[in-house]
């Protein structure tokens, strides 16, 4: 049976595609490689990512989404089309899409996502806000009058929201997330060791020894980079405690955002949140000790959702079942409450 409904978690760092009845069928980096001379699309996803920072002059590897929003419309549309083509077999059907977006997105940016989906071959496009999708994906029953807090740290944005009665009560979206962690590592190593490392090495460091809270025992790894004094390769070691220092600014900005959402939340819901705990989703929440850091600052029990990276995609997928209850012309599922009044 061919499904005509697809959910897409359109992330800055990666794109996950959920097909109704099949689950998450595709998980690829949101990178596109293009031939500059002919404008031809060469590779999409993983194959294009391997070209980042390594391409000859005529090939460019682009990440068409920056900080959660479309920065290169045409490329995003081509990338979406390519991914939709990978997961659909029959060409005659135009699938309906539910696409996930950051909560702080403007109407213009929303329109761009919808248009890109339509141009890529969808018959209809619905949008859902990331924290909402993350909550559904993490197994929270969002329909109840019970407050839950979700902290979704992606590649380009961190979305923090308090959700109750199928709607977002208070939320904030900051453009500080996984990418900024990588940048912080590059800057820190340059400043402290006088060595330049690439984005991919930085990401590797983040995943292996990166942490935002002291580890029970310190870990170190050896990495290679280019010495800025001599211009030659140099091998040196970096410790997990240095990572805390490197990440300090980024992690404290995320803590501030969590704090500000709690401050604006109605007292009854804050009571719910402190009972239910805070749930973390998204790839950025996997930086070691993030749950402990938030817990130590807020005093609220914090846990990381199972399969945090795919939470948003699963949530987007579960929304496909709600598509039929939606009136036409509703753009944003999370805001449909206000639209029905």
Q: What does the DSSP assignment read for 92-152?
A: S---EEEEEE-TT--HHHHHHHHHHHHHTT-SEEEEEEHHHHHHHHTT--TTSS--EEEEE
Least confident of 132-136, 192-196, 296-300: 132-136
Least confident of 80-94, 165-179, 190-204, 282-296: 80-94
Least confident of 98-102, 266-270, 328-332: 328-332
Candidates 83, 102, 4, 6; CA nearest to 317 is 6
Over the stretch 120-131, which tens digit does the pLDDT of each residue have? 888 888 888 888
Mean pLDDT of 260-287: 93
Copy the structure tokens of residue 286. 């996997």
User: At residue 334, does pLDDT exceed 80?
Assistant: no
| Cβ–Cβ under 8 Å, residues 171 and 129 | yes
Strand stretches in 181-259, DSSP E? 195-196, 220-227, 233-239
Query: What percentage of the chain exceeds 90 in pLDDT?
Result: 39
Q: How confident is the model at residue 337 (pLDDT cuts 50, 70, 90)?
A: very low
More confident residue, 212 or 91: 212
Percentage of residues in the chain having pLDDT higher than 70: 92
DSSP string of 156-172?
A: S-EEEEEEETTEEEEEE
Write down the pLDDT at residue 341: 36
Q: Give the global pTM.
A: 0.83
Q: What is the pLDDT of residue 325?
A: 65
Give me the residue label for tokens 């805390």. 244
What span, in angstroms and rounded, lies between the C-alpha atoms of 240 and 231?
A: 26
Spell out where 1-95 has E strands. 5-10, 14-19, 23-29, 32-35, 41-44, 59-62, 65-66, 69-70
What is residue 181's three-state secondary structure?
helix
For the segment 270-289, the average pLDDT, to the nearest whole number, is: 93
| Per-residue confidence (pLDDT) for residue 90, from 0 to 100 | 62
CA distance 8 to 195: 38
Q: Is the pLDDT of residue 238 over 80?
A: yes
Give Cα separations from 106 to 112, 113, 275, 312, 338 (angstroms): 10, 11, 33, 20, 17
Q: Can you give the pLDDT at residue 320?
A: 82
User: What mean pLDDT do residues 2-25 have?
Assistant: 83
pLDDT at 84: 84
pLDDT over 80 at 149, yes or no:
yes
Structure confidence by residue, pLDDT tens digits, 285-299: 999 999 999 999 999
Q: State how far Cα 270 lies from the chain centre.
A: 25
Check pLDDT > 70 for residue 327: no
Tabulate helix, strand, coil % of the chain (nearest 5). Answer: 40, 30, 30
Q: Is it the case that residue 336 has pLDDT exceeding 80?
A: no
Say whether pLDDT at 302 is over 80. Answer: yes
Q: Is the pLDDT assigned to residue 3 strictly greater than 70?
A: no
Q: Tell me what the mean pLDDT of segment 192-211 comes to.
A: 92
Task: Please state at what angle helix 178-193 crosses helix 199-208, rounded to 10 degrees.
Answer: 100
| Statement: residue 172 has pLDDT above 60 | yes
Write down the pLDDT at residue 182.
93
**Count of CB atoms situated within 10 Å of the CB of 203:** 18
Whether 136 shows a pLDDT value over 70: the answer reads yes
62: its two tokens: 């682009």
CB neighbour burial string for 97-129, b if at least 16 within 10 angstroms, e if fewer:
bbbbbbbbbeeeebebbbebbbebbbebbbbbb
The arithmetic mean of pLDDT across residues 327-337, rounded, is 48
Q: What is the rounded distance in angstroms from the CA atom of residue 53 to the CA atom of residue 59?
A: 11
The answer to whether 184 and 163 are in contact (CB under 8 A) is no
| CA–CA dist 72, 175 (Å, integer) | 17
The Cα 153–Cα 281 span in angstroms is 6
């Amino acid at each position: 049976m061919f499904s005509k409904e697809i959910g897409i978690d359109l992330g800055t760092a990666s794109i996950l595609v959920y097909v109704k009845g099949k689950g998450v069928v595709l998980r690829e980096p949101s990178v596109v490689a293009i031939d500059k001379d002919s404008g031809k699309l060469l590779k999409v996803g993983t194959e294009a990512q391997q070209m980042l920072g390594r391409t000859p002059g005529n090939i460019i590897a682009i990440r068409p989404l920056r900080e959660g929003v479309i920065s290169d419309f045409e490329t995003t549309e081509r990338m979406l089309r390519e991914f939709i083509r990978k997961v659909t077999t029959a060409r005659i059907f135009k699938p309906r899409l539910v696409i996930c977006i950051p909560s702080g997105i403007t109407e213009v940016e929303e329109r761009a996502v919808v248009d890109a989906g339509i141009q890529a071959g969808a018959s209809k496009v619905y949008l859902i806000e990331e924290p909402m999708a993350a909550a559904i994906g993490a197994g929270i029953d969002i329909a109840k009058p019970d407050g839950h807090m979700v902290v979704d740290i992606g590649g380009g944005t961190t979305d923090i929201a308090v959700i109750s009665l199928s709607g977002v009560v208070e939320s904030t979206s900051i453009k500080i997330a996984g990418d900024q962690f990588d940048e912080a590592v590059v800057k820190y190593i340059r400043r402290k060791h006088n060595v330049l490392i690439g984005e991919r090495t930085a990401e590797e460091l983040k995943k292996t020894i990166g942490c935002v809270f002291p580890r029970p025992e310190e870990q170190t790894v050896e990495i290679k980079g280019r010495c800025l004094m001599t211009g030659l390769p140099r091998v040196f070691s970096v410790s997990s405690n240095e990572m805390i220092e490197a990440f300090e600014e980024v992690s404290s900005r995320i803590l501030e955002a969590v704090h500000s959402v709690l401050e604006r939340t109605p007292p009854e819901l804050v009571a719910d949140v402190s009972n239910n705990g805070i749930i973390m989703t998204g790839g950025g929440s996997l930086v070691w000790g993030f749950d402990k850091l938030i817990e130590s600052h807020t005093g609220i029990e914090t846990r990381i959702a199972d399969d945090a990276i795919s939470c948003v995609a699963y949530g987007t997928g579960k929304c496909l079942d709600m598509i039929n209850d939606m009136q036409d012309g509703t753009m944003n599922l999370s805001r449909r409450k206000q639209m029905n009044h």
